[in-house]
Structure 1
């Protein structure tokens, strides 16, 4: 099979790193530079992505398009793509609930072939190897497997039903991200009573406890602008299944207290906890 031309929407920290892996087996990986930040442009250059001026040009030239953006923007982006009558393989790899991926599939088909995707793990840099879970038509998922063969992105096909990959991603995210929020609350409460070190000592006896990693709270705070909407998506999925969504909505509301420290790599645990206590 000829090497495909791939378009990435858009090269954020995860999108750019995943696109960099696609470069290995693609003829070219395109990104649309219009309206993107200097930080995005720097990532794209770092990972050898090819700039194009417009979304229309990217879609016209691409055989495969991978959508990796903040969850709240996923559907609007799909509407933009649908308006250009894209006819290739569209990988909806955002952390959105299964009902939204069904709507996006209905929007893009029959012109495009939609593959449901969900990335579990950190961006594939520095030796990290995330898994891109896929569900959808076998011929299309096979193309995505081939695209990432031999790279730092593992692929795993869950079946032909669109929605499975999104459901797995959100099920995992529900526990992982809510657990980090609970760590912040637990450490914050303990600190208020001057027993935070004792709490960490207790937790450190269990190597599988997030409570033994309190410094991660600062990273959670810097990522809150992304994690909050993802948990809202997961809450919608729980509600659709007849399960109570309140815990995830509460976790999202907690994360909202950190929205003003977006991607702040200098944030400390103390700073994060103070912001949590004083919205």
Structure 2
């Protein structure tokens, strides 16, 4: 579609920045003022968005609606949209499970066309260029690609199946965000014993991401019989420092699923993942 009218639900830090990028190829980008904070209004104004007083008016005028809200609110928001009878393209771009994305698609269908989306990266401001991954009907994903063409929001289509984009988003987020929490625990433990600077020095010698080394999963499985008890010791050390130990105990519990492949040098990535799923 040429120069569509776009509605953004809602202009948070990510939503407002994404909407500002969409404005480059849209006739207009609308946001609903009802129930929103003064901070939301300020972000919307800075992004150049057009205010409308009610959700029904926003939906009635919009060809494309992009939902970017806290994950817990995604389904309720979609339900509100469904009750208004929206019949355009609905981009479900929240960090939700594939199952929830599919429920939302069922909720809004068959009137609306659902595109599953997942944003990987920081808001598109100050030189940041996140990628909006998309999955859904080809014509609809093409319209979203056109909407962000030439902007700081990159797009990538994963196929036509609703849920794929959400799965990729959560797969990456599960590693990235848990890793940040693990950093806090590791530095907290080291600080308790006065070796935090030494820990950072050790870590600075290696900057690669473990997520880029999936082949190492098989080696992890073969070493699980040693690593599990080691993490239990680390968990005890965290607890002694007054820090939460549950994450490391959960990791040790996960490693226990590989207890029967001790030092198996022939184990493959596929074997290791199969055993992880069905111990």
Q: Tell me, in whole angstroms, the C-alpha distance in 2 between the residues paired with 1:247 and 1:27.
A: 48
Q: Tell me, in whole angstroms, the C-alpha distance in 2 between the residues paired with 1:87 and 1:76.
A: 18
Mapping of 1:71-86 within 5 angstroms? 71-86=71-86
Q: Tell me, in whole angstroms, the C-alpha distance in 1 between the residues paired with 2:79 and 2:47.
A: 27
SS in 1 for 2:90: strand
TM-score (norm 2): 0.75
Mapping of 1:151-230 within 5 angstroms? 151-208=151-208
Post-superposition offset of 1:163:
0.4
Q: Please tell me the root mean square deviation across aligned C-alpha atoms, in Å.
A: 1.8
Match of 1:109 in 2: 109
Whether the aligned pair in 2 keeps the contact of 1:203 and 1:209 (CA below 8 Å) is no
Match of 1:240 in 2: none
Q: Tell me, in whole angstroms, the C-alpha distance in 2 between the residues paired with 1:92 and 1:155.
A: 14
Post-superposition offset of 1:72:
0.3
Q: Tell me, in whole angstroms, the C-alpha distance in 2 between the residues paired with 1:144 and 1:122.
A: 19
Mapping of 1:241-252 within 5 angstroms? none
Q: Tell me, in whole angstroms, the C-alpha distance in 1 between the residues paired with 2:170 and 2:2.
A: 34
Q: Tell me, in whole angstroms, the C-alpha distance in 2 between the residues paired with 1:95 and 1:150.
A: 24
Q: Tell me, in whole angstroms, the C-alpha distance in 1 between the residues paired with 2:133 and 2:74.
A: 17
Post-superposition offset of 1:50:
0.4
Q: Tell me, in whole angstroms, the C-alpha distance in 1 between the residues paired with 2:176 and 2:136.
A: 25
Post-superposition offset of 1:205:
1.1
Q: Tell me, in whole angstroms, the C-alpha distance in 2 between the residues paired with 1:178 and 1:51.
A: 37
Q: Tell me, in whole angstroms, the C-alpha distance in 2 between the residues paired with 1:128 and 1:62.
A: 27
Which whole-Å deviations, capped at 9, do the CAs of 1:95-116 have from their partners, x for residues lacking one?
A: 0000001100000000100000
Match of 1:261 in 2: none
Unaligned runs of 5+ in 1: 211-245, 252-279
Q: Tell me, in whole angstroms, the C-alpha distance in 2 between the residues paired with 1:200 and 1:17.
A: 34
Post-superposition offset of 1:173:
0.3
Which whole-Å deviations, capped at 9, do the CAs of 1:7-49 have from their partners, x for residues lacking one?
A: 0000000000000000000000000111111111111011100
Match of 1:121 in 2: 121
Post-superposition offset of 1:208:
3.1
Which whole-Å deviations, capped at 9, do the CAs of 1:161-189 have from their partners, x for residues lacking one?
A: 00000000000001000000000000001
Match of 1:142 in 2: 142
Q: Which runs of 4+ in 1 moved over 4 A?
A: none
Mapping of 1:79-98 within 5 angstroms? 79-98=79-98
Post-superposition offset of 1:247:
5.5
Match of 1:57 in 2: 57
SS in 1 for 2:134: strand
SS in 1 for 2:114: strand
Unaligned runs of 5+ in 2: 211-245, 252-279
TM-score (norm 1): 0.75
Aligned residues: 216
Whether the aligned pair in 2 keeps the contact of 1:120 and 1:169 (CA below 8 Å) is yes
Q: Tell me, in whole angstroms, the C-alpha distance in 2 between the residues paired with 1:117 and 1:188.
A: 36
Post-superposition offset of 1:209:
6.3
Provide closer, same or farther for how the CA distance between residues 187 and 141 of structure 1 changes in structure 2, counting only shifts above 3 A: same
Q: Tell me, in whole angstroms, the C-alpha distance in 2 between the residues paired with 1:110 and 1:45.
A: 34
